[in-house]
Structure 1
Amino acid sequence: MKKAVGYLQSMQYRYPEERGGQFLRHLFFPTLLALLTGVLLTLSFPSPDQGWVAWFALVPLVCACHERQGKPSFFLGLLSGFLATSGIFHWILKVQVFQWPHFLLLVLLALFFAAYTALWCVGLSFLRDLSLPLLLTAPALWVSLDYLRAHAGFVALPWTILAHSQHTNLALIQIASYTGEYGISFLIVMANIGLSEAILRKKWKGLIIAFCIIALLHSWGTKLLLRGTKADRLKVAVIQPNIPLSVGDSYLGEATHLSRLEGLTITVAKYKPALFVWPESAVTDLHRRDELVMQLRKISKAANAPLLVGSSDYIALPSKNRSPPGGLIFIIPAYNAAYFISPENSGGSLAKPYRKCILVPFGEYLPFPSLTKKLPDWLIPKLFESLPGNEYRTYIIHKDIKVSPIICWENIFADYVRQLVREEQPHLIVQLTNDNWFGHTAAPYQHNIASVFRAVENRVPIAIASNTGPSWVIDPMGRVVAEVEGLFIQGAAVGEVSLRNDVTFYTKNGDLFVFMCMVLVMIAGLSTAFLRTQDKKTV
């Protein structure tokens, strides 16, 4: 009893000081470091688009998780990922089309993305004790989780992955033609681990190795960028009409914006592009409106080049049942489509359209409809549903040049675009999009930078025609060679790109690099399990 009283008395005098020190060391400083990583990751993407920050953005988080086990590491990763996602996706708070409370939607998205960062931090706590070098295993785990995020069924969203922070680092991202965008993420994490080990353990070997590898790849990429090509060249025009959502919702407003599209097309026709690209949903119901088809063919003939036109195709009520007269009441099914309009086929039937294959969940369709349709409208809005397309489409233009369209967010799915290039072998990919919904935010730029990586991965130029911008023409090396600068302005840009015939390692073999990373993670996991079994036997 006396011993117990003495112990309590001693704790009474030491408690405030010790508790304060433990609070700072075990909670406050690690939390501060985790939050710092969240801020730095936010700065790495548009906007403000400071990609150089990504090379040390993870260091505070790695230091915070140093010598911590699974649960504390999970909490720190969750906190850091939540802040980073909230900062990168802050534009959700300004998107008027969302019917949920904007803050709630952002919180759910941030928690979803933060879970991947949290799992990575938990992995770090186990990987540190292995004989395998953390310089390889930590980046391999990050890449594996990134790949999972891109293939997570209806919640798959490879938007602003770590590699995208380097979209202006053209020399380095050339490695994507072998590894895909995941190779750049691997290098960024490797540099962060090397720097962290130098800070925490005074071990410089990892940092030196990482620096040498990155420097060599940067040098190799620079040589590729400086090397000329004898490939044929093609001019392509992207049209940015800046059509407000309210104008494009009915046939009545179509005459106004069609006149605008025609004017922009004819204005740049003097530069003699081989193709004009109009944005997603530039017209409505093209598949069953012969008079509109004839009008577009006249525009194509006047411009002396074919058009690729985005169309929202609906099954609608008969005209007499519409309210107001001339308006359009949408009912399912519907397609988000792209049509090829050629001046050489003035009287023939339309070529088969490309129909968007990867639809946006909760925007263009409802996952698990038997369940979601029963939920209240304030939780899951009951919008009209689109039907997905089921095949790629290729059109032939000037001198047997093949062109394949993609629509909206299909550009963020690397394996979808890779499979398109592998099967159809297009000389040019055109991306039709309408980012009107995002307003004056960073979202349209975050959307576009994924196409820089699709171009490099497959060595195929990509022309992006966006309704409200930005509209870009990207060459096979990832350079933006022409653009309509700014958001919510009218304009057109003509870019000249080289047409390469070589098939990249990535196009041919896919995400082989990712699978190698997964194998390394599996080996690390088995090693961890084996060591734990041995420890139990020893005890």
Structure 2
Amino acid sequence: MDIWPLSLVALVPLIVALRGQPVRRAAGLGWMAGFTMTMTGFYWLLDMLKVFSGFPTPLCILFMAILCAYQGGRIALAGWLYGRAEARGWPAPLVFALAFAASELVFPLLFPWYYGASVHNAPVLMQVADLGGPILVGLVLVCANLALAEILLAWRRREKADNRIVAIGIAVPLLAAGYGFLRVRTIGQVMAEAKKVRIGIVQGNMDLFVRKNAYHVYVGRTKELAKSKEVDLVVWSEGAVPSPRAVTEATYKEEIQRGLTKQLGIPTIVGSVLRTPPAERGGRMTYFNTALMADEDGKILGRYDKQYLLAFGEYLPFGDVFPVLYKWSPNSGRFTPGTSLDSLPWGEHKIGALICYEDILPSFVQKLVKHGDPDLLVNLTNDAWFGDSTEPWIHLALAKLRAVEHRRFLVRATNSGVSAIVDATGRVVVHGGTFKEETIIGDGRFMRAWTLYSAIGDIPWYLTTAAIVAMGIWSRPKRVAKAA
């Protein structure tokens, strides 16, 4: 994820391998590439499955292989779409680009990722995300890959390369970089004039299961920040208060203020687990993964319940249909998703809350920003279940694009890292480490800015998907030679 120049060449072998292949073989080559990508790049899934499922290692390896076989289906879909459209006479480079974009849009992943995040530490190449999200960033990189693939294919055929493809493959990344350079400068000026907020992030580094001291760590660190008067706002990680607090919908604000937030003495976004009694939710105890906004007096100003729950960690797929699955996997959670996209109010400001991997779902964040119009984005996360692997850094890399897409600052408070503040150009202002208790302090800005992606979201990519599907159905019209 950190060697961004590889993103300009990494797809070349796949592009070369797909050229001229029958549809089934193209899909198979795509699946093989996707399976290899996910089995190696998502190696940390094995430890997560071992920790949460309680199953023995061989069985977890099997489950990981099944999961990665499914995840690899995204590249298989791209190969299948490519094979059908190329067989009907459509230009191969155009077909690959459209198929790649369509697969990133429509294939549902349990652990979402986008090729465009490969340039997370090359800011000038990220800025087109405010036009078309991560898929557009990825297509810029695909163009470079297509140009190099065209040169290699021509060399193999001992023919001259199509100069149009090579020119486009060079021009598109250069144009994107030029746009990025200008946007970094203009957004930098806007950030300099925006209202500043001093933010303290408490990273508790609590163990996933033995978390007896979590309450004291987060409260103690927050009181220290309040006493120092260094910060205006404190942000806790996801589930910072892990023991479910039994509340009722009618009185939870007063109960949380009295039992927790009144003593903090500073505006704080608290990550907690709320539990409502069976009488209120159809006869079953209900659990919510929640972010609460408290003012300096501890009064609860707003609440956000996580909507996209993590498979195996917070729910079991098909668990509601087959309840016995929860008996077989006792470490899996059984949470209920939230439904509201409202921002957390804080005085004249509105804060868009995201929990866990919701910050890597561009379409969801686009809806949340369009609905709530926040001037700051905050993500509460706990990546401890993935261990001290590359996953926390990959999560941060994917999340950076949300700041660019909506030109807002993004604050990420994580239990075990990587906690960070990301500015509106996707650059990290400050970040902490992994698996250590610490307090990270940095400056954010309250910003609102219109972007094309905020306004229209993924509409262009739905049209792209319709186009590649049509190409896979109808053959390219043949040109009729004009009479002399």
Same fold per superposition (TM over 0.5)? yes
The number of residue pairs the alignment matches comes to 451
Aligned: 1:430 with 2:378:
yes
What displacement does 1:434 show? 1.0
Q: 2:78 aligns with which of 106, 120, 135?
A: 120
Aligned: 1:462 with 2:421:
no
Aligned: 1:78 with 2:31:
yes
Q: 1:364 to 1:332 in 2, by over 3 A?
A: farther
Which stretch shifts more, 290-299 or 188-197?
290-299
2:222·2:234 contact (CA, 8 Å) conserved in 1? yes
2:351·2:375 contact (CA, 8 Å) conserved in 1? yes
What displacement does 1:524 show? 1.7
What displacement does 1:247 show? 2.9
How far apart, in 2, do the equivalents of 1:376 and 1:335 lie? 18
Residue 345 of structure 2 is matched in structure 1 by 396
Residue 230 of structure 2 is matched in structure 1 by 272
2:365·2:402 contact (CA, 8 Å) conserved in 1? yes
1:55·1:188 contact (CA, 8 Å) conserved in 2? yes
- Matched letter for residue 514 of structure 1: W
What displacement does 1:489 show? 0.4
How far apart, in 2, do the equivalents of 1:311 and 1:210 lie? 48
Q: 1:274 to 1:393 in 2, by over 3 A?
A: farther
What displacement does 1:446 show? 1.8
- Matched letter for residue 394 of structure 1: S
How far apart, in 2, do the equivalents of 1:71 and 1:188 lie? 26
1:179·1:512 contact (CA, 8 Å) conserved in 2? no
User: What SS class does the counterpart of residue 9 from structure 2 fall into?
Assistant: helix
Residue 482 of structure 1 is matched in structure 2 by 430
C-alpha RMSD of matched pairs (Å): 2.6
User: What SS class does the counterpart of residue 315 from structure 2 fall into?
Assistant: coil
Q: 2:305 aligns with which of 355, 362, 382?
A: 355
Q: 2:216 aligns with which of 236, 239, 259?
A: 259
Aligned: 1:451 with 2:399:
yes
- Matched letter for residue 470 of structure 1: V
- Matched letter for residue 391 of structure 2: A
Q: 1:506 to 1:148 in 2, by over 3 A?
A: same
Aligned: 1:225 with 2:184:
yes
Q: 1:370 to 1:418 in 2, by over 3 A?
A: closer
The Cα offsets for residues 73-112 of structure 1, whole Å up to 9 and x where unpaired, read as: 2332222211111111101222222334221122012211
What displacement does 1:514 show? 0.7
1:296·1:341 contact (CA, 8 Å) conserved in 2? no
Q: 1:232 to 1:208 in 2, by over 3 A?
A: same
TM-score, normalised to structure 1, is 0.77
Residue 270 of structure 2 is matched in structure 1 by 309
The Cα offsets for residues 354-406 of structure 1, whole Å up to 9 and x where unpaired, read as: 1111222343234444643355955x6584521111102323335x1211211
Matches within 5 A, 1:230-245: 230-245=193-208
Q: 1:382 to 1:268 in 2, by over 3 A?
A: closer
Aligned: 1:98 with 2:82:
no
Residue 206 of structure 1 is matched in structure 2 by 165
Please, which runs of 5 or more residues in structure 2 have no aligned partner? Answer: 155-160, 279-283, 479-484
Residue 385 of structure 1 is matched in structure 2 by 334
Q: 1:339 aligns with which of 276, 292, 297?
A: 292
Residue 146 of structure 1 is matched in structure 2 by 104
Q: 1:292 to 1:426 in 2, by over 3 A?
A: closer
What displacement does 1:121 show? 2.3
Q: 1:395 to 1:287 in 2, by over 3 A?
A: farther
Aligned: 1:172 with 2:121:
no
The Cα offsets for residues 421-457 of structure 1, whole Å up to 9 and x where unpaired, read as: 1111111111111111111111122222222111111
What displacement does 1:510 show? 1.1
How far apart, in 1, do the equivalents of 2:438 and 2:404 lie? 26
2:351·2:377 contact (CA, 8 Å) conserved in 1? yes
User: What SS class does the counterpart of residue 469 from structure 2 fall into?
Assistant: helix
- Matched letter for residue 199 of structure 2: V
TM-score, normalised to structure 2, is 0.86
- Matched letter for residue 355 of structure 1: D
- Matched letter for residue 395 of structure 1: L
Q: 1:510 to 1:520 in 2, by over 3 A?
A: same
Residue 6 of structure 1 is matched in structure 2 by none
User: What SS class does the counterpart of residue 160 from structure 1 fall into?
Assistant: coil
How far apart, in 1, do the equivalents of 2:105 and 2:110 lie? 10
Aligned: 1:508 with 2:452:
no
What displacement does 1:72 show? 2.7
How far apart, in 2, do the equivalents of 1:491 and 1:499 lie? 25
How far apart, in 1, do the equivalents of 2:331 and 2:240 lie? 24
Residue 94 of structure 2 is matched in structure 1 by 136
How far apart, in 2, do the equivalents of 1:487 and 1:496 lie? 21
How far apart, in 2, do the equivalents of 1:183 and 1:453 lie? 11
What displacement does 1:232 show? 2.0
How far apart, in 2, do the equivalents of 1:114 and 1:192 lie? 20
Higher relative contact order (CA 8 A, sep 6+): 2
User: What SS class does the counterpart of residue 197 from structure 2 fall into?
Assistant: strand
